[in-house]
Amino acid sequence: MSDAVPARFVPGDRVTVRRSCPPGHLRTPFYARGASGVIERLCGAFANPEELAFNRPGLPAQPLYRVRFRQADLWDDYQGPERDTIEIEIYQHWLEAAP
Amino acid sequence: MRSHHDMGGLEAGPVEATEHDYAPWEKRVDALMMLLSARGHLKVDELRRNVEALGPDAYDRMSYYERWISSITATLIQRGVLTSDEIGRRMTEIEAQHAAESAS
């Protein structure tokens, strides 16, 4: 898509998901907000679904990443193996560089 | 605050993995959604937003396609495709027709 926000992250970058609860249609799961993970890949750039949900164009397109999290980082009471991970597709405007 | 529909990670009990048939009205709702979407009257993201805007009680009480038809209706009113009054009058007509058919 030509009208796209430039990608800020590359695979391997550590990122933190913003803690935010605006009204509307959000694709970022609540349980991942505030958590940190690693960029696994850039999936492309897509019209922002939060804007599409109000019948607006959602442009410029937002880069979408697959972010890998350790399950143990997401759930306080996680009982599974330490190596377990989950990958979640998250738009760039929800991500910040992790310190 | 977590939105009611955003349930990832909460206790939900076992998954019932059984096949089931769709009722004719459910198939019609699906077809309606596909047609409205193909003709640019509604975006899938609007469908999601209006499903997610249901109150927790309604969200839990409604079946999958009940949520869809409720959301399609809300979206078409918001878009100005239909008015509340048009929908209300048509619902009354259909109820009357149904009552007449049941009585005969």
The answer to the question of residue B66 being in a domain is yes
Residue B45 included in any domain: yes
The shortest CB-CB distance from B9 to any of A24, A50, A75 is to A75
Q: What is the ipTM of this complex?
A: 0.88
A56, B46 in Cβ contact below 8 A?
no
pLDDT for the residue A56: 96
Reported as a single tens digit per residue, the pLDDT across A57-84 is 999 999 999 999 999 999 999 999 999 9
Domain count, chain B: 1
- Is B6 inside a domain boundary? no
Q: Tell me the CATH number at B69.
A: 1.10.472.20
Establish if B17 belongs to a structural domain. Answer: no
Q: What is the pTM of this model?
A: 0.90
Whether residue B48 lies inside any domain: the answer is: yes
- Domain assignment present for residue B63? The answer is yes
Which pLDDT belongs to residue B1?
87
Domain annotation covers residue B39: yes
Range of the domain at B77: 24-103
- The torsion angle over the Cα atoms of residues B45, B51, B53 and B55, rounded to 10 degrees, is -170
Task: Give every CB contact of residue A13 below 8 A, 6+ residues apart in sequence.
Answer: A38, A39, A97
Contact yes or no for A52 and B8 at CB 8 A: no
Which pLDDT score is estimated for B80? Answer: 96
Among the partner residues B6, B45, B46, nearest to A30 by beta-carbon distance: B6
CA distances from B18 to A72, B12, B21, B63 (A): 32, 17, 10, 16
Mean confidence (pLDDT) of chain B: 95
Q: Which residues 43-82 on chain A approach chain B with CB closer than 8 angstroms?
A: 49-50, 52-55, 74-75
Q: Is residue B37 part of a domain?
A: yes
Residue B46 CA from chain centroid, whole number: 12
* Residue B63 CB contacts under 8 Å (≥ 6 apart), including other chains: none
CB contact under 8 A, B46 and A54: yes
